[in-house]
Structure formats: C-alpha cells, structure tokens
Amino acid sequence: MKRVLITGANSYIGTSFEKYSNEHYSGELDITTIDMIDGSWRNDSFSGYDAVFHVAGIAHADVGKVTEEIKKKYYAVNTDLAVETARKAREDGVKQFVFMSSAIIYGDSAPYGKIKRINKDTEPTPSNFYGDSKWQADKGVRELADADFVVTVLRPPMIYGKGSKGNYPTLSGMARKLPFFPNVKNERSMLYIENLCEFLCQVMLLEKGGVFWPQNSEYSSTGEMVRMISEVCGHKIRVSGFWNWSVALAGKMPGKIGNLANKAFGNLSYDQDMSIYDFEYRIYSLEESIKRTEG
C-alpha cells in the first residue's frame, strides 16, 4: 500500500483523483488531503508518505486586467508554494513528488486557420504571467530531483469531465441551446478527467519520474465536440461549415471578441507519439468521455 498526500484541498483534479483511486485502487493507494491556505501544513511532517501530489494553485487568470499585486500572488502560489512543498517533501524523506504543470507554458493556441502542434523538442514560451508562473514552478520542482527523490511533472492540455470548470461547461451550454454552430475543423488536445486519474495512479504505483504529456487518444475539434454533446443531451443542433465565415471574421477582430474566437476555434495539440507510455491510461474514448460527462 502506497500512501499519497494531496497538497491542496477542494481542487477539481485532487478530489477527482481521490474518488477515482478509492474506487479503483483502494488496495494499492491510501489517500490523504491537506489544506494549504493557512500555512499550518508547514508544521506537519510529510514523512511516512510515499508520494506527494501537489495540486494547490491559481488557475483561469483574466490576464487582460490584472494589477501587479495580483500577478505577484500568482507567482507566490503557483511557483513559490509548489517549490517550497517539493523541497519539504524531499527533506521529509518522501520518495516521489507529482506536480501538475500545464500546456499553458507553451503559450496561447494558434489563431483560427493556423496550426500549432507541440512535440518534445518544443520550447515553452509562456505568453502571460499565469503561464510563466506555471513554467517557473515546472522548472523549479524538477531541479530538486535526485537519485532518492523522483519528480513527476505533468503538462496536460485542457482537462474536462463531470463538474469541471473553464471552457468545457461553456461549450456544453452552447451545445444544449443553440440551433446552429460552425463546423470548424480545428485540432485540440484534451484530457478526460478519468483518463488523467488513471494516469496518475499508474505513475505513482510505478514511481515514474520525468516530464509527461498525457492526452486523450483522439484529437478534438470544437464543432465535433458540440455535435457529440448535443446528441447525448437530445438537442437538435445544425453543425455546418456554412457559418465558418463568422468565425474567420470574429478571429480577425481586435480585443475580446477576437481573443474569444481564437481561443474557442484555434489550434493547440500535442504530437500523439509523446503521450504514449509503457502503461495504458486512456481507458475512455472521446465519445465515451462525453457521455460520462454529460450523463
């Protein structure tokens, strides 16, 4: 039995992982979660745990209108807290530290009509303070790795599933209500939450270290996702290329409209070869994941 400490309470990924591991690996993983907010965790010992899974952080930044004070908070939480937690884990004799980085370290998605395919040689180029705060942590925790301390860094694309936040619920809402939707053939890497949880269980049980890029076995496109969601929900929506001109037009507009259009219909994907490992974790297909998310 491996003992795992989740540092950061009430996060979507942390609570999902705890639930999944309890349902599927209860005889192999014993999970404990601590809150990081008040700082009292610094007085607790991490000794006795085999792995620390760090999920505490600030996400979904509105990078357009943020004060310098808020930016400093992102670095304090996303970077400094992550490195401090990893250092404490090593000092207390923990064998493995698992850190959730993000695809955001590679910058924004390519605008509508452009391709952005990331491979193992692609250098991270954060486009804003949020991405940079994750990148600095990504580098900082890996510097602590040694022969006795395994550091596992995940750089997942957009994560979705039942109860998730961010872009997926917005897309789901449109798929349930709109009468028509553009059929843009963009290419997105995504990761279903239960596929992520299976990945996490495997790297902890196998004590895998290094940098990983988990993703679904299939790329997603915005139009196809809307079609799948609407079918599951029993809503009739016409997904047609006839409306693609509106996306092209919106993508060229300055400011918020252009940013939203490129974020929703732009391209950002990982080379599939970089997400294949010597263990299986992609247990649900894209279609199955939509059914489980919307069901």
**How confident is the model over 53-77, as a mean pLDDT?**
86
Instruction: In whole angstroms, give the CA distance from residue 246 to residue 178.
Output: 15
The answer to whether 185 and 134 are in contact (CB under 8 A) is: no
Q: Can you list the alpha helix ranges (DSSP code H) found in the chain?
A: 12-24, 68-74, 82-91, 129-142, 167-177, 193-206, 222-233, 244-251, 256-265, 286-294
- Residue of 212, 215, 161, 222 lying closest to 187 (CA atoms): 222
Reported confidence tier of residue 268, pLDDT bands at 50, 70, 90:
very high
What's the distance, CA 240 to chain centroid? Answer: 29
Higher pLDDT, 212 or 167: 212
Instruction: Give the global pTM.
Output: 0.94
The C-alpha atoms of residue 46 and residue 30 are separated, in whole angstroms, by 14
More confident residue, 39 or 254: 39
Instruction: List, in order of start, the domains of the chain with CATH numbers.
Output: 2-161+191-216+269-283 (3.40.50.720)
pLDDT digits (tens, 9 = 90+) for 121-177: 999 999 999 999 999 999 999 999 999 999 999 999 999 999 998 889 988 998 999
Query: For 45-120, where are the alpha helices, taking DSSP H only?
Result: 68-74, 82-91
Query: What average pLDDT does the structure give for the chain?
Result: 92
Region of poorest pLDDT, from 13-22, 110-119, 191-200: 110-119
- The residue with greater pLDDT, 114 or 279, is 279
What pLDDT was estimated at residue 61?
61
